[in-house]
Structure 1
Amino acid sequence: MSRQVIIIGRPNVGKSTLFNRLVGKKLALVDDQPGVTRDRRFGEAHLLGLDFTIVDTAGWEEEDPTSLSGRMRMQTMAALEGADVALFVVDARHGITPLDDEIGRYLREQKVPVILVANKAEGRAGEGGYYESYTLGMGDPVAISAEHGEGMAELFEALLPFFNEDDEEEGLPPIDPEDEEALNRAPLKLAIVGRPNAGKSTTINALLGEDRLLTGPEAGITRDSIAIDWEWQDPKTDEIRPIRLIDTAGMRKKSLVVEKLEKLAVADARHAVDFAEVVVLMLDATRGLEHQDLKIASLVLEEGRALMIVINKWDVAEDASGLFNGIRAALDEGLAQVKGLPVLAVSARTGKGLDQMIATAFELRSAWSKRVPTAALNRWFDSALSANPPPAPGGKRIKLRYITQAKTRPPSFILFGTRLDALPKSYERYLTNSIRRDLGFNAVPVRLTLRMPKNPFKKD
């Protein structure tokens, strides 16, 4: 079934021009006069290999529902209910208006994922509005010129995640991170990774209470990433929580992986990390922490996934206290970018610690999906700058203007200012660590991007 993408925005921001650009024909009437489009218009869009149904809608106006403009708005709302993705178009030359803010608030309340598109962004005239659109709090805007065809590659990249065939087959709808109730209802996508023979499949069998996965003393039994839908009953609250457990192939050192089949299995395990929300890195208590474990952990963090460390076979561990403390210290040293990762000891054979592992995974997903209110983020920003002002290399002051949370899952922030190219990495780490510590993200990976004013279409 074809994906359906809807174009939404106030009048005269270029929605129909974008519609025509995507269908490759001038099907929709275009004029400088606002309100030309009234009914929904459907077309077959083609964008660099992506094929989908595009829906043009009437300009959103705040009018009485019984008026013509009000009824047009109701048509747009109805179209949104059947859409897979919404393109929220704003006019970069005109800047953000109160009506744009109203549309943004409405879209954030809906379940349909939204891509913010700053149209008419060509040249310097659109630069101010492009950066102003970050204030809508809807992530990175895609700068385009529908009239001249600029920015289509960037629009393709923004749309691509919603056309992933594997995601479609999994049948899991996207979650609005701000809807806590929907987030709690949605299955937790939990992948278990690690070196061969760490007990990943055995752990899943223990959780399920049945021998669902083939296990044995031989390393490398699991080849394909196996996804299993399961319901966990929280022993503290008796609440039933859905989970999608993902077992993966063991990931050995790259130099040891020579067979084609194992290479494919490892690649499949990496794909499972991409699909997951929370990743369990499973260690073998009889072997401790090895360099390969740190490499796997770094891969998970680079992909922006929430990570927890689980030491299996704890029932046969020697010097358990020393082992645990040694692993904790080695993780803090080897993964300095995210200190304080949850470390749990479990035994898949006896079932000890497995409920705590699942409960911690749900807590991590909540932190990974968290959005900080603007007021709280501003208070933190002022406090962080007062406690430790940015340096002045060469006597020239670095000015940090403001910060915004661009997205969640993983939490991503954009810092705006001048001379940011001279900002030391140590100060970036200070800000990132402060965000995690002060704003409740704890050990969840946080991304901080630096932005200085520049023409979005200027070629370096």
Structure 2
Amino acid sequence: MKTDKSRRVVVIGRPNVGKSTLFNRLVGRRVALIADLPGVTRDAQEAPARLRGRDVILVDTAGLEEAAPETLAGRMRAGAETAVAGADLVLLVVDARAGITPADAHFAAWLRRQGRPVLVVANKAEGRSGGAEALEAFRLGLGAPIAVSAEHGEGIADLMGHIAEALPDDAEEKDGEAGDASSALPLRLAILGRPNAGKSTLINRLLGAERQLTGPEPGITRDAIRIPLLDAAGAIELIDTAGLRRRARIEAPVEKLAAAAALAALRRADVVALVIDAALGLHDQDLQIGRLAEQEGRAVVIVLNKWDAVRAPDEARRAIADRLEASLAQLRGIATVPLSAATGQGVQRFLPAVRRAHEIWSRRIGTSDINRWLAAALERNPPPLLDGRRLKLRYATQASTRPPTLVLFGGRADRLPDAYRRYLVNSLRETFDLPGTPIRIDLRPTQNPYEDGKRR
């Protein structure tokens, strides 16, 4: 049986009528980017919500505009139309203050031909006059408009009730939906990289459909878009993000918001796929993104995209490996996957590499094994002298995973030099086969019972 969880409520309308603000209000948190500019939303954004006891998937879409199919606006409209085709209910949002425009009437007529249930939402209808202004939407011929102010929260409770009532009752499950697909938490995989590295193209290739907007224009993706995927090993939440440039080059307010959303996605991810344009080589900004992922303790996989355009693959691979070894040593042994998202070459190796990185990142090591490793590491390279006395490291245990984190106890352990800590990290990585994952060592000094000549 099909459950409420699979019911899709799609929010559409022309640009700048407040679709994303309404979407966020219904979801109950800020998911979609919002700015006082038209056309901020470009890709369909999805999020679960519970409305009057009904579990739904809300879908925010790009503003509907008349444009040639090959243009960016035309491709945005095609994405919105695809979302409508899979909708159980459509919310057509209009601007009550601006009144009904010819574009509103045109898209309302198009909606009537789609055979989908529709609710007309007259947004920006705050205050005493808002209700009267909203009545003009009767002209669209799609039933009584529901007056709301998404910005101020007015009328949202009433709208939720209308949505719950308009949703179809339980029917047969949609093709391809698995009843137990959501039983386990998905692996959160954030796709990051510089603009035009091919992040959205890679996601489309993984999905087997043109889900994300792509094209020659840089910076097409703006928001952090979450997309579910199911592979042989289980559920994955793909997160497409805006291209990250150096902070000094980010000027436009929307790009600043997009960069902030991408960094927030990095912090919430389990695994970060750093997509690099292999034809251009490894850039300083690529390395900076890798360092950010390591600092946040995320597992990382390097994607060498556009590998089919590389003229000397062996030479390119060696150059990238040398650069990673020199500039990203804290992720030594990081997995690199050469592929072409455009042609599909090598893409089959990507998700297994992600799963492997996630397994390493989540690995737990027994305490006895850790202390045997510690004894061997100390014997091979004893700790340095400090104030004429050698530091004594006594024992260690793993405090947590994701990333692997050890607590190391010993007299004056907190004064251990960084160079010796790096030696221990590298030795641990080699002994327990932990390539490419961040490793943390927390140093805890043990108390000397005869400190200051006083016996405890």
- Give TM-score, length-normalised by structure 1: 0.56
* Partner in structure 2 of residue 285 of structure 1: 278
2:311 alignment counterpart: 318
Distance of 1:377 and 1:434 partners within structure 2: 11
- Superposed counterparts of 1:212-361, under 5 Å: 212-232=211-231, 239-361=232-354
Describe the shift of the 1:299–1:327 C-alpha distance in structure 2 as closer, same or farther (beyond 3 A). Answer: same
Structure 1 position 257, deviation (Å): 0.3
Shift in CA distance, 347/216, structure 1 to aligned 2, threshold 3 Å = same
Does the alignment pair 1:436 with 2:395? no
Q: CA deviation at 1:420?
A: 2.5
Give me the whole-angstrom Cα distance separating, in 2, the residues matched to 1:356 and 1:420: 42
1:360 offset after TM fit, Å?
0.7
Rounded to whole Å, the distance in 2 between the matches of 1:377 and 1:366 is 18
- Which residue is 2:376 aligned to? 383
Structure 2 spans left out of the alignment, 5+ residues:
1-180, 449-456
Structure 2 matches for 1:98-117, cutoff 5 A?
A: none
Q: 1:337 to 1:313 in 2, by over 3 A?
A: same
Report the Cα distance in structure 2 between the residues aligned to 1:337 and 1:191, rounded to whole angstroms.
20
Residues in 2 aligned to 1:367 and 1:192: alpha-carbon distance in whole angstroms: 19
Deviates more, 1:216-225 or 1:182-191: 182-191
CA deviation after TM superposition for structure 1 residue 241, in Å: 2.5
Aligned to 2:408: 415
CA distance in 1, matches of 2:294, 2:244: 16
RMSD: 2.0
Which protein shows a greater Rg?
2
Match of 1:195 in 2: 194
Partner secondary structure for residue 235 of structure 2:
strand
Q: Does 1:364 align with 2:357?
A: yes
Mapped partners of 1:386, 1:283: distance in 2: 41
Q: How many residue pairs end up in the alignment?
A: 268
CA drift at 1:327: 0.7
Distance 1:374 1:420, change over 3 A: closer
CA distance in 2, matches of 1:224, 1:206: 19
Report the 3-state secondary structure (helix = DSSP H, G, I; strand = E; otherwise coil) of the residue aligned with 1:337: helix
Give the TM-score of the pair, scaled to structure 2: 0.57
> What's the secondary structure of 2:430's corresponding residue?
helix
Q: Which amino acid aligns with 1:267?
A: A
| Structure 2 CA distance for aligned equivalents of residues 230 and 183 of structure 1 | 11
Paired with 1:394 and 1:407, the residues of 2 have a C-alpha distance of 33
Structure 1 residue 380, shift from structure 2 partner: 1.0
Are 1:399 and 2:398 counterparts? no
1:230 alignment partner AA: L
| Whole-angstrom distance in 2 between the partners of 1:454 and 1:221 | 57
Whole-Å separation in 1 of the counterparts to 2:447 and 2:395 = 16
CA contact 2:367–2:396 (8 Å) conserved in 1: no
Ranges of 4+ aligned residues in structure 1 off by more than 4 Å: 182-185
Summarize deviations over 1:166-216 as a string: whole Å, max 9, x none: xxxxxxxxxxxxxxxx99954221111000000000000011111000111
**What is the alpha-carbon distance in structure 1 between the residues aligned to residue 442 and residue 182 of structure 2?**
26
CA gap 1:418/1:204 in 2 versus in 1, 3 angstroms: same
User: d(CA) in 2 for partners of 1:311 and 1:299?
Assistant: 19
Distance 1:352 1:389 in 2: 48
Gaps in structure 1 of 5+ consecutive residues? 1-181, 233-238, 456-460
Greater Cα shift, 313-322 or 268-277? 313-322
Corresponding letter in the other structure for 1:195: R
The superposition leaves residues 28-82 of structure 1 with CA deviations (integer Å, 9 ceiling, x where unpaired) of xxxxxxxxxxxxxxxxxxxxxxxxxxxxxxxxxxxxxxxxxxxxxxxxxxxxxxx
CA 1:183 to 1:301, structure 2 compared with 1: closer, same or farther past 3 Å? Answer: farther
The one-letter code matched in structure 2 to 1:209 is G
